[in-house]
Structure formats: C-alpha cells, structure tokens
Amino acid sequence: MKSDFSLFSDEEQIIAQGKALLAADAETVPADSFRGLLSGYAKLYRQSTRLVKMGDRMQGQLNSLNEQLTKSEEKYRRLFEGGVQGVYRSTLEGRLLDINPAMARIFGYDSAEEMLIMVRDMGKGLFLSRDHYNAFVVVLRQQGVLKDHPLELRRRNGDMVHVEVHAQDLYSDSEETHVVEALVVDVTDKQRMLKELEALARTDCLTRIWNRRYFFELGQREVARARRNGSPLTLIFFDVDHFKRINDTHGHDAGDSVLKEIAVLVREHLRQLDIFGRMGGEEFAVLLPETDLDRAEQVAEKLRQAIAHHDVVLGQTRINCTASFGLALFENESEGLDCLLCAADQAMYSAKSNGRNSIHTSTQIK
C-alpha cells in the first residue's frame, strides 16, 4: 500500500489534470486524457474505500477493547468495593494511597475515606509500632511477594486484630516509586476458634482439667526436667471411694456433679506449676514438680480432708464422699512417667485395701 503522502500526491496530480482539461480551448476533451483522468479517480476511490473499511474495522476493535476495559474496570471496582477482604495500596514508608470499604471495616472505621484521612502512617495507625512496620517492610523487600503472612495489627479502638496478608512490592512508573499492593484477611475469629479447639483437645470435657493425653504430654516434660536437674518430682494418684454406689443410688448426673466439684476442690489446693488431670472415670492424678515425699504427703492429706469434709448438694440431696490416695517419688534411675504412675496406682489400691479414705506411699520406685 502507498503511504498517505503518495496518495495525496496522486490526487493532486489528477486534480491538476482535470483543471487543465477544463481550461483547454479545445471544443472537446481528448478521449485518452479523459480515460486517464477517470482511471486515476477510480484508483483513488478503491484505495479510499479500503482505507475506510480498514478504519471501520480498527474503530470497531477499539470500541470492543474499550467496552471490555470498561467491563473489567466495573468488575474490578465491584470486587474492590464489595469484597469481604481488605485491599490497600501504600508507599513503602507506610502512607496509604487507596483502600476498599472492607479494609476500613476490618479496622473499625465507618468508611474508606475516613480511614484514609485518619491513618496517615500505617506504622503508627495500624501496626503496634514503627519498628514492627519496618520489620514487615524488610521481609517484603527481601521476598518481593508475601503469602499468608501473619500479622497482629491494631483496630481503631485499640483492640488487636489477627490478619494474614498477601502483599507484593511493585515499582510504579507513574509515581516513580515503590508501592505495596496487599490483600488483608481478618483471621481473628479463626485464631480464637483454633485456640478453643486446642483447649478442648487438651481438657477433660466434664471436669475442665487436663485430660489423660495432655497430662502425659506435660508429665513427660517434667520427668525429663527432673532427670536432667536432679530435682524431686512426686505423683499423687487418687480414686473416689464407692463411686459406683453413688451412680447407682443417685444417678449418673449426680456422679458427674461429684467429679466436677472434686476437681474444683483439688485445684484450689494446688500450685500453678502442679499438673492435675483426670485419668478416666473417677481416677485423678497430680504431678508435683520440685516436691519431695514429705511435702507431697502433706498435700495429699489436705486433698483427702477437703474431699471428705465437702458435701455435694443436689436439691434436697447431700452426697458425701471420700477418696483413696497413692504416692510415688520419681528418681533418676526409674523408667519414666508410666512407671511412676503405675507405682502410685498400686499404692492407691493399697490405701483402698486398708479401709479407703487414706494415703499410702509407694516404695517400689527406687
């Protein structure tokens, strides 16, 4: 195809020829000249038609692209404005450039506009301190992209909010600076739920003390520490006397109430470092770190008396019960927590054999 300049030159030549023919003195225009002029105009017409069609196609494509761009922008805007996850753009220094409404809601602001006005500096307005923000930026600059990055940030009212951030460090040609684009997911409820599930997995559902599995997990740590440091460690194992009779006489609900109240009583007489767990049924165990046998016997006697002197009141019914206790001292050459628990269990059965509501100390762990 000829260039635009070439086409205009041909047109100018043909126009000049036409003017010359019209200005001729001859009574008639020579046929060859007229045919040449007509052929030139026909050629220009064809070229013009092609250019017009090409222009129409280009305009149609441009209109289609503009329409697609408009739809994409509308779709992005709907996602940006209506999403449940926070979105923000900021400078590396922490100045917010743009946020969506969800970002404002997560941090307790009424609107995105309000948050942009009030939070001038993310290091002061969202992060716990400028140092925390700087540490976040260092990691982002090192990795370029962060996925599921956990952060503890601050809401408008000062409450902490746990979030996971998907962020990337970009270079903006228009602003000639680095910008951060990030997606913020509020996982506060998720964290709380995980902690609750973790607590449920560790505690006995009836008495709310440690269950057997977690008692062993904590107990094995104490055994390892006692073996390493040579510090005394004693285990108390006790069982509620005639518990089956309580269930048969008053019902299983009454039996559950007895176990719950015994757990509360015992916990009130223990130190924070003591480990108290339900081994199953009416059996309980207490591990006493940094405690020798003499001191453990004093603790067991306090627990025995507390249980024996306590009545469980259920409506018009008062239930009094007792417990039998077995004690065992851990020594470095012993086999471990299982051996210690077995010795205390055997001592407890000796207490039951001696009339119940008593304490017996094992001599098997040496």
Question: Any idea which residues carry the catalytic annotation?
Answer: 282
Alpha-helix residue ranges (DSSP H) falling in the chain: 4-23, 31-82, 101-106, 112-118, 122-125, 130-143, 188-202, 212-229, 243-250, 252-268, 293-308, 337-353
Give the N- to C-terminal CA distance of the chain in Å, as an integer.
106
Which tokens go with 162? 């746990």
- Report the C-alpha gap between 222 and 218 in whole angstroms: 7
- Residue 171, SS3? strand
Alpha carbons 188 and 124: distance in angstroms, whole number: 21
Q: CA 27 to CA 45: how far, in whole Å?
A: 29
Asked if 276 contacts 211 with a C-beta cutoff of 8 angstroms, the reply is no
In whole angstroms, give the CA distance from residue 158 to residue 168.
Answer: 27
Contacts of 213 (CB under 8 A, 6+ apart): 202
Sign, Cα dihedral of 332, 333, 339, 344: negative
Residue 217 sits at the vertex; the CA angle it makes with 214 and 223, to the nearest 5 degrees, is 135
Taking phi over 0 as left and psi of -120 to 50 as alpha, with beta for the rest, 148 belongs to left
Angle between helices 252-268 and 243-250 (to 10 degrees): 130
- Token couple for 180: 């951060």
Distance CA 145, CA 75 (A): 24
